[in-house]
Structure 1
Amino acid sequence: MNVEHHDLAHEFPEHREKIHSLKLGNAHFAKLFDAYHLVTKDVERLEGENVPVSDEVLEIQKKERIQLKDQLYAILIA
């Protein structure tokens, strides 16, 4: 299965430098960033390795990823 990558650099390439700066200088952003990447890594692993998991569990993780991404984006554009 072809897995689409959702790391923030791919999602917001125009904010690459600001992402890096905020990771180093904003503890809240860094915490959200780490949580986002943990969820993303898990979702991509489940999808890529065809791990048996219910659709409900996968959807919950994807919704969590979206919520984290929205919070990160709000900080990026603030």
Structure 2
Amino acid sequence: MLPEYREIISSLKVENAHFAKVFERHNELDQKIEDVDSGREHLEPLELDTLKREKLKLKDEAYALILEYKKAHNL
């Protein structure tokens, strides 16, 4: 997720517990979606869509936290 902010993400995962939880949940959903897409798991299309929407919301939230961090640290 957002590889261009890798350094900031590393810092935020240590400094901000909420960001760490958002990041971890995003990665869990990413793996589950990948498992479904590859056929290792099965979900109904509506369930898969719900997971994808949650993942996108988490990415948006993580991005907002990254922007706040950049602003606070004049990056």
d(CA) in 2 for partners of 1:16, 1:49? 30
> 1:21 is aligned with what amino acid?
S
> 1:29 is aligned with what amino acid?
F
Question: CA deviation digits over 1:39-61, x for unaligned, max 9?
Answer: 11100111012643211011000
The equivalent residue for 1:19 is 9
The equivalent residue for 1:65 is 55
d(CA) in 2 for partners of 1:37, 1:74? 17
SS at match of 1:22: helix
% identical equivalent positions: 35
TM-score, normalising length from structure 2?
A: 0.83
> After the TM superposition, which parts of structure 1 deviate over 4 Å for at least 4 consecutive aligned residues?
none
Larger radius of gyration: 2
Q: Which runs of 5+ in 2 are unaligned?
A: 69-75
d(CA) in 1 for partners of 2:58, 2:25? 8
Question: CA deviation digits over 1:20-72, x for unaligned, max 9?
Answer: 11011110100111111111110011101264321101100000000100000
Which of 7, 10, 22 is residue 32 of structure 1 equivalent to? 22
Aligned residues: 68
TM-score, normalising length from structure 1?
A: 0.80
C-alpha root-mean-square deviation of aligned residues, in Å?
Answer: 1.2
